[in-house]
């Protein structure tokens, strides 16, 4: 071996080596050189088996979006069907007003035109509206609110007992108890009036006073 000249390193070389011996720097370097371990040989078979059995995970937002689209489609379909139902007319609930054409031709009043010609054309019936006016009268059942009312007792009065004292009925036309004798040509001094006035009568007792007071008929008996 040839004796080659030796060269001395820089003075700070040792310090640099000591710096590399620092724990943190060694840790950073060794962390990148950590050994790798080999898994078992059947690891892939286990993974494929699990992939075959498991369905791909669908994110929740995709599920939600699909559900919303479905709900929207159902709502649209329902609305369209609902509109179709409303356009179909129920003949029971339709009042149809038709323009009835009267088969009478009203003659147009003769109007003399300036030129001397007479317009005698009959009145044409008014132009019919091709589409009859239809009014859809829907009958809807409405529950009327029930009002709770208190039970009121009406006192029953016997109106039969009330009588009008001025009313004159057949029963009230009772014969008077006064008797008047009228004579002509007789002496006035001999003229006598016989009355039962003041005499108690059993009949009068049964009759109400009001009835006797209202008796206005007087019977006059002529004695000849």
Q: Which is nearer to another protein, 33 or 187 (CB)?
A: 33
Smallest separation, CB 13 to another protein (Å): 17
Smallest separation, CB 65 to another protein (Å): 15
**Strand (E) positions, 84-207?**
94-97, 111-112, 118-119, 133-136, 180-182
Segment holding 62, helix H or strand E: helix 60-87
Q: Which is nearer to another protein, 27 or 111 (CB)?
A: 27
- Local structure of residue 101 (DSSP, 8 states): P
Q: Which is nearer to another protein, 36 or 218 (CB)?
A: 36
Contacts of 221 (CB under 8 A, 6+ apart): 179, 180, 181
Enter the tokens of residue 23: 């724990």
Q: In this structure, are residues 218 and 197 in contact, taking their beta carbons and an 8 Å threshold?
A: no
CA atoms within 13 A on the CB side of 173: 5
Smallest separation, CB 87 to another protein (Å): 48
Q: Which is nearer to another protein, 51 or 168 (CB)?
A: 51
Smallest separation, CB 41 to another protein (Å): 11
Q: Which is nearer to another protein, 8 or 53 (CB)?
A: 53
Q: Which is nearer to another protein, 17 or 111 (CB)?
A: 17
* Residue ranges binding another protein (CB under 8 A): 21-23, 26-27, 30-40, 43-44, 46-48, 50-51, 54, 56-57, 59
Smallest separation, CB 63 to another protein (Å): 14
Burial class of residue 215 (count of CB atoms within 10 Å of its CB; 0-12, 13-18, 19+): middle
Smallest separation, CB 31 to another protein (Å): 5
Placement of tokens 């390193």 in the chain = 9
């Amino acid at each position: 071996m040839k004796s080659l000249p030796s060269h001395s390193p820089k003075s700070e070389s040792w310090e640099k080596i000591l710096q590399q011996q620092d724990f943190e720097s060694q840790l950073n370097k060794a962390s990148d050189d950590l050994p790798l371990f080999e898994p078992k040989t059947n690891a892939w078979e286990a993974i494929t088996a699990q992939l075959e059995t498991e369905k791909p995970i669908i994110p929740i937002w995709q599920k939600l979006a699909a559900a919303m689209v479905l709900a929207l489609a159902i709502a649209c379909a329902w609305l369209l069907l609902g509109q179709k139902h409303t356009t179909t007319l129920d003949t029971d609930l339709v009042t149809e007003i038709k323009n009835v054409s009267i088969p009478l031709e009203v003659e147009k009043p003769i109007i003399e035109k300036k030129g001397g010609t007479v317009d005698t054309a009959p009145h044409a019936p008014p132009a019919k509206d091709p589409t009859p006016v239809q009014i859809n009268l829907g009958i809807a059942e409405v529950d009327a609110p029930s009002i709770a009312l208190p039970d009121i007792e009406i006192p029953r009065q016997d109106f039969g007992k009330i009588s009008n004292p001025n009313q004159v009925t057949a029963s009230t036309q009772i014969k008077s108890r006064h008797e008047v004798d009228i004579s002509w040509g007789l002496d006035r001094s001999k003229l006598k009036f016989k009355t039962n006035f003041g005499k108690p009568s059993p009949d009068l007792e049964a009759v109400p006073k009001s009835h006797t007071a209202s008796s206005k008929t007087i019977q006059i008996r002529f004695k000849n």
